[in-house]
Amino acid sequence: MVDNSSGYSFQQQTVWVTGAARGIGRVVADRFVHLGARVLGLDCRFEDRGYAFTTRHLDVSDPEQVRVLVEEMLHEGMGPRVLVNAAGVLRLGDIDKTSRNAMSLKDWEKCMDVNVSGVFYLLRELSHHFKTQRQGAIVNIASNASRVPRMCMGGYCASKAALQSLSHCAALELAEFGVRCNLVSPGSTDTEMLQSMLMDKRGNVEDGYQRTIAGIPEQYKLGIPLKKIARPEEIANTVIFLASDQASHITMQNIVVDGGATLSA
């Protein structure tokens, strides 16, 4: 059943969502389905068949896989009206290679390959499509970590900052064709990614969540003024808005959804 109570409608629109197997990406994809869209979910590791949308395997960090999939989908008439780049990875580690917690070169490259290059490969293959149809919206999922430094997160922060700049450049190139390109930058959100960071040896995340909400001074990390961890649905709400006609004059923007954690820095 299509949900029209929100005032949004994506009837007859094709929406692509990367990172759709879990977390924010899956919630975003499900929301578009409920709003009437024909959704193509893309991910490199779908784990079950319980998805409400069409799924296709895609490693966004592989430019040849991206090229082949885009060509196939365009040939099948499945070109996107909306593209949401939600695929992302987090790798932790110090920049100093002599540290016991040093980030490996492999982890650095993984952050860049997925978080930045994957988006570039899709934009590279789809920009002509968007220009030709002279309409559409692109929403890239960055992070509030693109705006402030974080301990042990040099690779992740750098990749999300690069994504922000790439997104703005794409927005500028596409603007005259009526295509909008924006970012959503979540803060701490209740996903597997955050849980993997904060889980203790007993498999408990609540203590880590409470520390995150309160702030971690030894890591120079502020707390969350709204006193809660975000739900993926709260991030999806912002994505839906930016993709909708209600945001028809918004482009080249970055909406931070972090409960005030970065104090708008």
Q: Among all residues, which ones are annotated catalytic?
A: 156
Distance from C-alpha of 233 to C-alpha of 151, rounded to nearest angstrom: 27
CA atoms within 13 A on the CB side of 77: 3
Rg (CA), the chain: 18
Cα–Cα distance list, 87 to 37, 84, 194, 218, 253 (Å): 20, 9, 15, 30, 19
Q: Residue 106, Cα to own-chain centre: how many angstroms?
A: 21
